[in-house]
Structure 1
């Protein structure tokens, strides 16, 4: 496949030579053949001319859920990867929350084979424990050998402190990345939203910040003792940012992420009992939201994720107490982040994080495989159901004002636009 991107403004904050320059980009058989002010190519080359076309390195999302195998009514691998591609993501890390759960090497091989022809590359996580039950470690080394980029019992905190210690020690031998979801279930109890003024006003059971922070303190103490690599996904409180910043100052190998929705909304959105806003971790206060944004800007928070979690209508359009957690977020991630941050920061956030998972970061230069995202950063619109590409429509961003439209990607010798 040969294509020519015409008059594309390149957004590459780490590349002074190309950053904000308008260039033609020739791609032949999936490889960047030439980058110049004006290219006139003849023959079997497809020209791509789009309104206010901007191009960056392909985007990366560290926390995406689909449904297949087991929950295809929520999302299939094929449509999930197409949604990711149309949303600008050339690489996604897939959470282990299917049925059966991926807790063996054969499960990882299945996911890789099921996604091998897609434009967006799927990188699979395996479970940390067998069936994510928290009783015994899964086949970590075998899954790593089969291609797993890390290990995670999705949204399930590990209650057994000794098992986390053993996991970190064992995975350290082969540079494995252990995930630990920050939530003390005994402190959280039957809470479903942030504990505070709003939960009291609405009569909903709350989850205090302490439930998250207590688990982080425990995990950091264990990491300091064992060594190894720890990732704390989707933090949500101001004190969590502070705790992780202190650990990094000590030189500990810890990373963390935050979900886009925790940067955009607070628990004040719950006043209408809309189950689209029932999330885990829950939406916190305005002071927490500001601390998370500050943590991104000062580098404490390593990367941002859509935390995309499709959920079928039967699990969402029910009473708030009974609704499942989660929101889709791939389609709206860029438009929401581009509202909060300037364009350079937004693109930096969307392109970082691969190294933590041992994934090679693409290069924006001649001779390299093309892994590019195509977008218009200026178009403003209201996010509505017509913009949803996922099989499920459980989006907490419906009705939100977005800034920036994604055209698609060029990746794996394919163009999706």
Structure 2
């Protein structure tokens, strides 16, 4: 008997999903959501052979050696890319390992993630970058490192940016830490232009924010929580934009949270500055009204803001001012969350809840554009399209299924989700990427 791998499917089970390695995969009756594809908004069968899309037709007959993908109200798009994900490894494996994190990302619909440098040690040299990329080999979801902008993310001395880019880093930023030294920001933007590097600057003026732990406003006053004014974010953004106007270069401002931040970035883009920005899912959906029970899962950085800010951020997406939506997935283990609100660490996980949360407040077209084409272009990655002859890099989902998000939907090692018991609209079925088909059971 001759062993023929093209006729074999290998199935591995782990937290209620399966990975299938198959030479031929046939996706049946899928509505394609891809503005770059000639099949946009059409229901088609899609045949993938050896990881390449070979046919897209109304009906493709099934054969015995095909792996068939059929799901209720199946929709497909280019693979989703999350530009702000934190895993613990190295140093904080109790929060999340690279292996489990990438499996969670795949289950949540992501074919690529950009991983932040907030590890121990910090990802601030080429060896550390190489560790991440080597550790992530072979998974369906691709890992792209965001290296630290400064050594040890201390904001004192610029890290070896060029060397880290050569090792695989796609951008440079100190996660959740602003660049306090304006001259260092100026030098970083100037230097990165030599190799078309992307610099990230977290929008928070620490002097203004002080030791605040919640949005400064009515709720923080009622609850006796020290406030962080919107000014802390907006002042940092204004400063960075003035420096960018002086230096040139490419600047990305991650996870903005206020209405005026949208206006500031809108005005900068009108001037022709190469500035982009992202917003976290929880800032699009949740407000500081959630704080009344002092649940530390709602303690985030930036803090949850007001309903007016939520609306302005949503409008910023539809207007094209905000370029990227991210989960800002930040696992925190229970010993740092099951404490008093004032003592708890900032952060919420967001991969598993991402689609269901965002899909309830944005159109599917806005969602897809800001999680596929735009982020890949900004971070310098190859864009994909669901077209014959292209490599298959696809996310599967149902945009209409409704459910309540509970702890059983969480597969991250840490369980610090701000969306527990929230109503969701939209279910992820899985992905096809790196010649691997991953389906949720």
TM-score (norm. length: structure 1): 0.98
Q: Deviations over 1:1-28 (max 9, x none)?
A: 211111112122343x312221111111
> In 1, Cα distance between the equivalents of 2:426 and 2:356?
5
Please say if 1:258 is aligned against 2:282.
no
Counterpart pick for 1:73 among 67, 79, 94: 94
Counterpart pick for 1:24 among 45, 59, 65: 45
Counterpart pick for 1:289 among 307, 310, 313: 310
> In 2, Cα distance between the equivalents of 1:251 and 1:342?
28
Q: Once superposed, which parts of structure 1, at least 4 consecutive aligned residues long, lie more than 4 Å away?
A: none
Counterpart pick for 1:185 among 206, 224, 245: 206
- Per the alignment, residue 120 of structure 1 pairs with 141
- Per the alignment, residue 438 of structure 2 pairs with 416
- Per the alignment, residue 239 of structure 1 pairs with 260
Please say if 1:11 is aligned against 2:36.
no
Unaligned runs of 5+ in 1: none
TM-score (norm. length: structure 2): 0.93
- Per the alignment, residue 404 of structure 1 pairs with 426
> In 2, Cα distance between the equivalents of 1:342 and 1:228?
32
Counterparts of 1:206-355 in structure 2 under 5 Å? Answer: 206-351=227-372, 352-355=374-377
Give, in angstroms, the shift of residue 377 of structure 1: 1.2
Please say if 1:58 is aligned against 2:79.
yes
Give, in angstroms, the shift of residue 376 of structure 1: 1.2
> In 2, Cα distance between the equivalents of 1:242 and 1:190?
26
Please say if 1:395 is aligned against 2:410.
no
> In 2, Cα distance between the equivalents of 1:343 and 1:232?
24
Find the residue that maps to 1:223 and give its secondary structure. Answer: helix
> In 2, Cα distance between the equivalents of 1:168 and 1:373?
34
Contact 2:36 2:385 in 1 (8 A): no
Contact 2:349 2:416 in 1 (8 A): yes
Find the residue that maps to 2:180 and give its secondary structure. Answer: coil
Q: Deviations over 1:135-158 (max 9, x none)?
A: 100010000111100001000111
How many residues in Structure 1 have an aligned counterpart in Structure 2?
416
Counterpart pick for 1:358 among 371, 376, 380: 380
Give, in angstroms, the shift of residue 43 of structure 1: 4.3
| Root mean square deviation of aligned Cα | 0.9
> In 2, Cα distance between the equivalents of 1:230 and 1:350?
19
